[in-house]
Amino acid sequence: MPALFIRMIGCYTSLTLQQFRSFGQTLLCAIAFLLCSSSRIVAHPISMSTAVADIYQDRVQVELRILTEDLMFYHSIEADGDQLLSRKNLLEAAEAHRAFLKKYFRVLDKTGQTIEGNFTRVDTQEIPEEGVRLDQVMEVGVFYEFHILLEDIPQYLTFTQNFGGDDSPVPAVMDLIMLQNGARLDFPVQIGPRSPHSVAIDWENPPRNDRMYWRERRDLMKKRREELLGITSYSSTYAYIYVEPFEIRFEILVPLLTLETWMPMERKEKDFLSVEEQEGLRSPLEKYIRSHCEGLVDGIEVVPVLSHLDFFSLDIRDFASRSEPRSIGMQNGRAGIIMTFSTKGKPASASIEWSGFNDYTPMLNTMVYMMDGTGERHFFTENEPRWNWQTKEEGLGEIAWLTLPQAPQQAVLSVSPVSMTLAGVAGLFLLIGSAGRKRAALWSGVTALVAAGIVWPVTVVEISHPWEKINPPSIDQQKMITEAMLKNVYRAFDYQQDEQVYDALARSASGTFLENLYLQIKKGLIVQEQGGARSHVREVRWGSAASVTSDSSEAAFELNIRWEVTGTVEHWGHIHTRQHAYDALIQIVAEDGQWKIGGMDVTSEEQLKSSTGLRNAA
């Protein structure tokens, strides 16, 4: 028996009986093959093989155990009259099978490129001299040693097999057992034509064969789950539903090979999807979504919008991060799909129905997050394809704005420069006429005075009253007004549509400063490293304020202020938190009896906190 298989058995025999039993049916089958069970199994048309891969920093050593049943099927060996496959024919087929395995069994790097290797040895000792009876073809095997040299220390590897090609009439299943430096890396897995297996390799904490390692494994797996942001399997499909004010998001992270079973994916290269081909998938994918996904919000049907479509390779851990467009490998690439259902306000009820099921996606395991609550698990299946939600809260609807005190009305004086000029001229004529007893001057004065009265209504203007001074609010009132207005400004960005945000800001900003304020706040909420997503404001914390208002007769004041904003961006079950502090000179003015922001000059911005973690589950 080859060395890797012997070493693999040693890895398992060092464990407790309870741990051994937990490996499940896959491992038991593999051990049964290795021990060459004497049970009589009638051959059937399915390829069953075993691979043990030992990963080192400079190489990968793979030993494959191929049943003689495969040699019979793939190389068309016929039995003689005694139902025997001759040793000579099996040895010839075993040698020819090298090229078959090199073509259909592959090890890929993190980009999806095949890492070339060579078969260094074929072990046919299990084949007896008299040949193999047909009822023994699943008991007798051939061992192949496959050696791969690595140029770089591997961080990720993908193992895949597609025995016989896409049109092979023989289904193929392979049990894959992985070692790292001779120690068992993980539990055995099965790989097939559309189910490759990718693994992240930890060189700082490599596995060991002693029993203490498996006691430490729980902590290591918990740490790994946090590092991978909860997305620990590279071949699984993950789904999430977020119920938030003004939108409901349905997010699916799906392997490309699985996505190809949903819809055709035309491409020039079989193993890669180019940037242009990725962009070309948006339109047909949106059509697929709209035919397989239906949504209701508050009893009204809402058509899902494909708001994001991104493609990720193995080395992407944060799926909300922006990555440069590049060709993605089909065997280990994934697509991130975000569907959005818009709402008019905080929804009271919602439902989503998903019908995109097939043999590769028999169900959709989904985490659901309602507002700021903990996550709940939901399973979409053909029998239960609908998710329903009804809020238990009351009073949901529009955003609750903070109330501000009424701004004082500025005292004004009505004047008409034209009427005042005519009145002055009239007074002069009347004075001249009275002194010189000139009737013409008197009539001119009367005419000018009448004209002054006639033009008054159409020429009158209002100016600030020069003698009635309005004092600005007290310092404490100024701080209270400014804090409430600032929080209202950020609440306006709870709306998703820019037009809605702009309209909501109008209650807090002067008309001349409205556009500048909108652009200024929006820029501060954009998280560039998260693909330009706008963060959701969780908290606006008031810091300090100092008045710089000089004596004025106008209802206005200025403050030097400092405040902190905590915002989050959530996707794929994890949450990005950013906290910034700002210093600014802000001007508050009174318009039509309401306080408004007339100007704001941000003098400094400081990032206080940046973290990424998992969203809590129930």
**Residue 610's CATH number:** 3.10.450
Q: What is the pLDDT of residue 89?
A: 95
The structure tokens listed for 363 are 């169900």
Domain-located, residue 404: no
8 A C-beta contact, residue 248 and residue 295: yes
Which residue did the predictor score with more confidence, 308 or 463? 308
Domain-located, residue 469: no
Phi, psi (degrees; rounded to nearest 5) at 278: -65, -45
Residue 395 has pLDDT above 60, yes or no: no
Most confident of 106-110, 230-234, 464-468, 548-552: 106-110
Which residue did the predictor score with more confidence, 289 or 424? 289
Domain-located, residue 314: yes
Domain-terminating residue out of 400, 431, 464: 464
Domain-located, residue 549: yes
8 A C-beta contact, residue 129 and residue 77: no
The amino acid at residue 440 is: A
Q: In the predicted model, what is the mean pLDDT of the chain?
A: 81
Question: How does residue 436 score in pLDDT terms, banded at 50, 70 and 90?
Answer: low
25-34, 275-284, 432-441, range with the lowest pLDDT: 25-34
Most confident of 142-156, 307-321, 398-412: 142-156
As a whole number of angstroms, the distance between CA 563 and CA 81 comes to 90
Percent of the chain with pLDDT over 90: 39
Question: How does residue 470 score in pLDDT terms, banded at 50, 70 and 90?
Answer: low
| 3-state secondary structure (DSSP) of residue 268 | coil
191-200, 341-350, 549-558, range with the lowest pLDDT: 549-558
Domain-located, residue 231: no
Cα dihedral sign, 181-184-185-190:
positive
Most confident of 61-75, 235-249, 478-492, 536-550: 61-75
Question: How does residue 160 score in pLDDT terms, banded at 50, 70 and 90?
Answer: very high
As a whole number of angstroms, the distance between CA 181 and CA 207 comes to 8
Averaged over 583-607, what is the pLDDT?
A: 87
The answer to whether residues 186 and 59 belong to one domain is yes
Which residue did the predictor score with more confidence, 553 or 442? 442
8 A C-beta contact, residue 91 and residue 124: yes
As a whole number of angstroms, the distance between CA 73 and CA 63 comes to 21
Residue 222 has pLDDT above 70, yes or no: no
Q: What is the pLDDT of residue 283?
A: 94
**Which of 288, 279, 263, 262 has its CA nearest to residue 328?**
279
As a whole number of angstroms, the distance between CA 445 and CA 451 comes to 10
As a whole number of angstroms, the distance between CA 473 and CA 477 comes to 6
Residue 113 has pLDDT above 90, yes or no: yes
Residue 13 has pLDDT above 50, yes or no: no
| 3-class DSSP string for 234-291 | CCCCEEEEEEECCEEEEEEEEEHHHHHHHCCCCCCCCCEECHHHHHHCHHHHHHHHHH
Averaged over 335-340, what is the pLDDT?
A: 92
Residue 38 DSSP code = -
Residue 111 DSSP code = T
**Residue 31 CA: distances (Å) to CA of 25, 35, 143, 437, 567:** 10, 6, 15, 134, 53
CA atoms within 13 A on the CB side of 406: 5
Which residue did the predictor score with more confidence, 591 or 312? 312
Which residue did the predictor score with more confidence, 510 or 98? 98
The answer to whether residues 60 and 90 belong to one domain is yes
8 A C-beta contact, residue 324 and residue 370: no
Residue 115 has pLDDT above 50, yes or no: yes
21-25, 531-535, 564-568, range with the lowest pLDDT: 21-25
The answer to whether residues 33 and 113 belong to one domain is yes
Percent of the chain with pLDDT over 70: 78
8 A C-beta contact, residue 175 and residue 49: yes
The structure tokens listed for 387 are 């998710």
The total of other beta-carbon atoms located within 10 Å of residue 486's CB is 23
The answer to whether residues 55 and 168 belong to one domain is yes
As a whole number of angstroms, the distance between CA 571 and CA 336 comes to 10
The answer to whether residues 494 and 456 belong to one domain is no
Exposure b/e, 302-322, CB count within 10 A at least 16 = b: bebebebbbbbbbebebbbbe
CA atoms within 13 A on the CB side of 253: 25
Domain-terminating residue out of 178, 212, 246: 212
Domain-located, residue 561: yes
8 A C-beta contact, residue 344 and residue 251: no
Q: Can you spell out the DSSP letters for 351-394?
A: EEEE----SS-SEEEEEEEETTS-EEEEEEESSS-EEEEE---S
Averaged over 513-542, what is the pLDDT?
A: 78
The structure tokens listed for 362 are 């028999």
The answer to whether residues 74 and 95 belong to one domain is yes
The total of other beta-carbon atoms located within 10 Å of residue 565's CB is 21
Residue 471 has pLDDT above 70, yes or no: no
Query: Kind of pairing, strands 238-244 and 272-273?
Result: unpaired
pLDDT (tens digit, 9 = 90+) per residue, 408-430? 666 666 777 777 787 777 777 67
The answer to whether residues 87 and 200 belong to one domain is yes
Averaged over 387-402, what is the pLDDT?
A: 70
Q: What is the pLDDT of residue 610?
A: 82
The answer to whether residues 479 and 381 belong to one domain is no
21-30, 51-60, 132-141, range with the lowest pLDDT: 21-30
The structure tokens listed for 310 are 């991104």
Domain-located, residue 578: yes
The answer to whether residues 522 and 605 belong to one domain is yes
Query: Kind of pairing, strands 363-370 and 238-244?
Result: parallel
Residue 343 DSSP code = -
12-26, 281-295, 382-396, 417-431, range with the lowest pLDDT: 12-26
Question: How does residue 30 score in pLDDT terms, banded at 50, 70 and 90?
Answer: very low
23-32, 370-379, 397-406, 452-461, range with the lowest pLDDT: 23-32
pLDDT (tens digit, 9 = 90+) per residue, 54-97? 999 999 999 999 999 999 989 999 988 889 999 999 999 999 99
The answer to whether residues 513 and 442 belong to one domain is no
Domain-terminating residue out of 403, 435, 464: 464
Q: What is the pLDDT of residue 373?
A: 74
The answer to whether residues 196 and 325 belong to one domain is no
Residue 139 neighbours by CB under 8 Å, 6+ apart:
36, 37, 38, 39, 41, 67
Question: How does residue 509 score in pLDDT terms, banded at 50, 70 and 90?
Answer: confident
As a whole number of angstroms, the distance between CA 491 and CA 537 comes to 8
Q: What is the pLDDT of residue 577?
A: 85
State the total domains in the chain: 4
Averaged over 467-473, what is the pLDDT?
A: 66
Q: Exposed (0-12), middle (13-18) or buried (19+): which is 566, by Cβ within 10 Å?
A: middle
Q: Exposed (0-12), middle (13-18) or buried (19+): which is 208, by Cβ within 10 Å?
A: middle
Averaged over 502-528, what is the pLDDT?
A: 82
Query: Kind of pairing, strands 172-180 and 47-55?
Result: parallel
Q: What is the pLDDT of residue 564?
A: 92
First-to-last alpha carbon distance for the chain, in angstroms, is 49
Averaged over 310-331, what is the pLDDT?
A: 77
Domain-located, residue 104: yes
Residue 185 neighbours by CB under 8 Å, 6+ apart:
55, 178, 179, 199, 201, 207
Question: How does residue 179 score in pLDDT terms, banded at 50, 70 and 90?
Answer: very high
244-253, 283-292, 363-372, 433-442, range with the lowest pLDDT: 433-442
Question: How does residue 3 score in pLDDT terms, banded at 50, 70 and 90?
Answer: low
Regarding pTM above 0.85, the answer is: no
For 36, the domain range is 3-212
Q: Can you spell out the DSSP letters for 185-230?
A: -S--EEEBTTB-EEEE--SSS---SSHHHHHHHHHHHHHHHHHTTT
Which residue did the predictor score with more confidence, 75 or 47? 75
The answer to whether residues 452 and 502 belong to one domain is no
